[in-house]
Amino acid sequence: MSKLDRPPDDPSTECLPHMTDNVSPTTRSRMMSGIKGRDTAPEWTVRRYLHAAGLRFRVHVRELPGTPDLVFSSKRVIIFVHGCFWHRHAGCRFATTPSTRPEFWETKFHANVARDRRHEADLRRLGWAVITVWECELGSTKFLDELFWRVVAGGD
């Protein structure tokens, strides 16, 4: 049992999303809609795990570039939880390009990636360590455990 395992009577485990390799129709619909997700399932997975592990943080901090998803102020660490389709996770099977109107999508994707890079650069200039988490990485407890330790170590 790792130090991060929850006690069996912890009610928060009941609402953990079931992780699968497949993108559900709902997720696909959200991804395809292009709406910038807030309080999405991947983000909740990260928030729930790190909170249960004892970390405290602010969410959706509008005062910072890019409105970071999780902000660990005392550690100067920021986490973005990115959808693979919309934010173009390089080499990821979810970062597909729709066959209809490919130029429209390429333009949109390019703008999204450029915006993400700009926000990350701005945050680093302000002294923050920035961790980008991709939704496809969240199926493994090992990944989340390593993420916990990265935050504790100050983001590196």
The residues binding Zn ion (CB under 5 A) are 84, 89, 92, 134, 136
Question: Which CB sits closer to Zn ion, 92 or 152?
Answer: 92
Question: Which CB sits closer to Zn ion, 129 or 138?
Answer: 138
Question: Which CB sits closer to Zn ion, 23 or 84?
Answer: 84
What is the rounded CA–CA span in Å between residue 128 and residue 65?
Answer: 11
What is the rounded CA–CA span in Å between residue 37 and residue 12?
Answer: 22
Q: How far is the CB of 91 from Zn ion (least distance, A)?
A: 8
Q: How far is the CB of 27 from Zn ion (least distance, A)?
A: 12
Q: How far is the CB of 81 from Zn ion (least distance, A)?
A: 11
Cβ neighbors of 155 (< 8 A, separation 6 or more) are: 75, 76, 77, 78, 128, 129, 130, 131
Query: Could you tell me if 77 and 154 are in contact, meaning their C-beta atoms sit under 8 angstroms apart?
Result: yes
